[in-house]
Structure 1
Amino acid sequence: MIETVSVTRYITPLREGGSLPGVVEADDLGTYVCKFRGAGQGIRVLVAEVIVGELARRIGLDTPRLVALELDPDIARYEADEEVQDLLNASPGLNLGVDFLPGAFGWDGDVPTGGELASTVLWLDAFCANVDRSWRNPNLLRWHGDLWVIDHGAALYFHHAWAGGVTDPARFAVQAWDPSDHVLLDRAQDLGAVDGRLSALVTPELLTEVVAQVPDAWLDPESTPGVADSAALRASYVEFLTARLRTRQWLPKLAG
């Protein structure tokens, strides 16, 4: 699983995000953007962040290192902001830490290494059904001249329907993905070749390794009727992603 470290200090909120993530320091001397389990989007957003973020890393995209942040809510006693206090008190235990990239700035419209990088990001978002990489919210950073992908909590929408039990993976497998609003659509080139390369790389075994990175504390079988334990829930994620890997209805067809 991703490494676990403990929060030692809450520094400041990031009010650009609707879930009010915050910058924190941890006992490994690292600085992280903390995404809280007690935020309104729910804990499955953290699961999607890990699965898609770790998959991005394995297909060669730059993405910040992820850790699980152990949070003691006593830290809230030192915060004057009541909204922050409430969020800290609602988030005891493991939260998600995204490595803070000092000096990074929002994407400026340039793709440093051309169409293959853009196509790789497009492929990832199509495969994982990420609906949150538009011009309104690119979720891309420039850091030391490179393009970094961040914020994948809006992907893997299928698990939000599991409150009534695990749904049919075949439906997600053939679900089309609309690329029209994607920020990199007009920069993508030769998506077919990129699909061939990534299809050989992303195997069921790799997907199993990626899903294994999710902490057990975020896999709550009690919230998914018919699932016995966290191992069964992990297997469901692998089943859904493997089923989608075997189809191509989700892959965009680029003009030209």
Structure 2
Amino acid sequence: MNYLELAQCFEEQNSSEHYHLNSEVLHIKNTIESILSNNTKQLLFLTGEPGVGKSAFLNYIEEQFSYDIIKFDIPFLEPIDFVKILIQKTQTEVANYSLEELIKQVISLYQNSNYIVVLDEAQLLSKDMIEIIRILADSKAFWFILAMHEHESQKILNEPQFASRPHKVLKLQNISIGESKEYIFTELENKNATMLANEIIKKHIKTIHKLSKGNMRVLKKLLYTSFLLIDYAQKNDKERYKNFNKCILTMAAIDNGVINA
């Protein structure tokens, strides 16, 4: 068995090609699509713990949704640059106007469109950017999806620019043990490692889920590191570590800071 290749299955990747659609993700996806179809344009907030898969989910909807999406991965922007980028996305020349005039221009360009502006890591938004988003949201020219860490979201949501306006909060949860089983089995089955998948699920799934707490990023790291360790053991004739076992999983957990040595 090529354990290096199996490790690569669990590398952190944000492309939709490697995105696992568990029931939690499908629920959020369907909810957003329902809101987009049945509500007036407003602010949507996507929250969740670090590592739960918010960025990967945003990449998925960017590639898979039948809506026009403009996505900003890191919101370290000045308001005037943010507005100029939105204008340029319409293939329109940016006039040398004041910020106030540029806002009027961008609202005019998008007023009758159905664009979604997506901002990842929205907990990093400056006060000035929050105010610009408020102005553009009030214009009803855009939908906005703002993704942010759960523990920092309340501060943003309590900002007067957002708290008093129509908005919806969607929380992406950690996955259940059943979804962890499904994810591991699917990834390994795709690599013709069904027997190994069954063995891991039978003997170690409770430990994996307990260590990761259902956090997708941590779960991936545990499996990625475990398979790298097995690959090393096989290439260096370390008999005790040539197969997936509790010792390998414990070392992977220590290496990733999940447990202390």
- Structure number with greater CO (CA < 8 Å, separation at least 6) is 2
TM-score, structure 2 normalization: 0.26
User: Is the helix fraction higher in 1 or 2?
Assistant: 2
Q: Which has the larger radius of gyration?
A: 2
